[in-house]
Amino acid sequence: MAYDVHIIGGGMAGSEAAWQLAKRGLKVRLSEMRGGGEMTPAHQTAGLAELVCSNSFRSDDDEKNAVGLLHYEMRQLDSLIMAAAAKARVPAGSALAVDRDVFSAEVEAALAAQPTLEVVRERIDVLPSAGLTIVATGPLTAEALAHSIGAATGADSLAFFDAIAPIVYRESINMDVAWMASRWDKGAEASLEMGGDGRDYINCPMTKDQYLAFREELLAGQKTEFKEWEASTPYFDGCMPIEVMAERGVETLRFGPMKPVGLDNPHWATPEHPNGRWPYAVVQLRQDNKLGTLWNMVGFQTKLKHAEQVRVFRTIPGLEQAEFARLGGLHRNTFLNSPTLLDRQLRLKKAPHIRFAGQITGCEGYVESAAVGLLAGLMAGAEASGQNWSPPPRTTALGALLAHITGDAEAECYQPMNVNFGLFPPVAPDVKKKVRKEAYTARAKADLAGWIA
């Protein structure tokens, strides 16, 4: 069919943009190369909005957390991604985690039901020369299209390394060693509402000697070798490989993904543990699917070779016989220098019929990617309908993220960014520090309501 907007890429951003356009009656062509004989280094299926890394959308607390506030704002704008996440949700304390297969299926079903939306399994190699277009190909943009984008922008894309964590079969975890708990029981009420029991993480405890030995194994393990052209590519801190963190200091892991605070091990209430029930370090696993059969290793992104992952991670107490549904990996991501290349409506300055959305713009995270897709869909929808469009206030999570991408950030040192309160205009200086986060969210909710109205 003839279409009003062409979307290239069926990930989080592309799917959300397509939804926002189609539900407004606009005709949309959504091109996705997976399912047409093509695949990326990180994806495993042809499903739309496939989650390739963690299954967590992070905190769902919209009173004290910037990403939780972003969840709230997207829900107010009828986000498909948030609606699908609600249907695919699995217990994870105060975090929003999903069964990744159910989530992708919900997104596909919702888009398939839109009569003005056509999903085409095809690879696009060249940016369209005309027609409203949203490029949402993500950080794993196919080589030919990446070259076309480079030619259109007149600048090289920046790049960083991203890593994914292993997933373990639940039945292979030794629960005589590991135990179920949430840190300080945080999020127990939300967990119970979700059908959980308030103890939403599997915890594998370590003594000091076990921790030090494990760190040495991480440092000595065989790693993925980089190609020469990749040698200068930096890591994004939000997906730092576990062994790279280990290199930064003996205690770094204990203050990061292996933090033991708030985790009381009932197995250690014995004379063999004279220091009591508090482990020196803990490896946590979070439920990855609704059946509870798959659990991912929280914060354990890795560039260890596959055989080394099995060997090293089986030294973790409770994972001695672990069977892995997926091992970790490393891939090179690319993104635009958006503050230089894009205008305030995410349009390419040199070719304004083209918008960019999602991680390719330099936002980081599932929710942020979908949020920028949502905004791009609203912008393109207004333009296609001949309407004026004004951005959400910068005091909102959506507005702060958009402003960062399209001009507030320093172009010379632009790096992938999660939403955070540091992107927001400051609240009044007389607001006390202990209630400052609540002040940010209250202001954002009020300003968003006014903008929507």
Q: How far apart are CA 251 and CA 353, in angstroms?
A: 50
Query: Tell me, what DSSP letter sits at residue 321?
Result: T
Q: How far apart are CA 170 and CA 312, in angstroms?
A: 18
Looking up tokens 């929507």, which residue turns up?
A: 452
Taking residue 294's Cβ as centre, other Cβ atoms within 10 Å add up to 22
> Annotation-wise, does 95 bind a ligand?
no
The identity of residue 113, as a single letter, is A
Sign of CA dihedral 397, 398, 401, 402: negative
Between strands 351-356 and 133-135, the pairing is parallel
> Annotation-wise, does 12 bind a ligand?
yes
Residue 187 backbone class (left: φ over 0; alpha: ψ -120 to 50; beta: rest): left
Q: Is 297 exposed, middle or buried (0-12, 13-18, 19+ CB in 10 A)?
A: buried
Q: Which of 8, 114, 97 is nearest to 56 (CA)?
A: 97
Q: Is 351 exposed, middle or buried (0-12, 13-18, 19+ CB in 10 A)?
A: middle
Q: How far apart are CA 188 and CA 233, in angstroms?
A: 40
Taking residue 337's Cβ as centre, other Cβ atoms within 10 Å add up to 18
| Residue 358 near residue 138, CB atoms below 8 Å | yes
Q: How far apart are CA 56 and CA 59, in angstroms?
A: 8
Q: How far apart are CA 197 and CA 325, in angstroms?
A: 25
Between strands 158-164 and 329-335, the pairing is antiparallel
Q: How far apart are CA 89 and CA 82, in angstroms?
A: 10
> Annotation-wise, does 10 bind a ligand?
yes
> Annotation-wise, does 14 bind a ligand?
yes
Binding residues for FAD: 9-14
Binding residues: 9-14
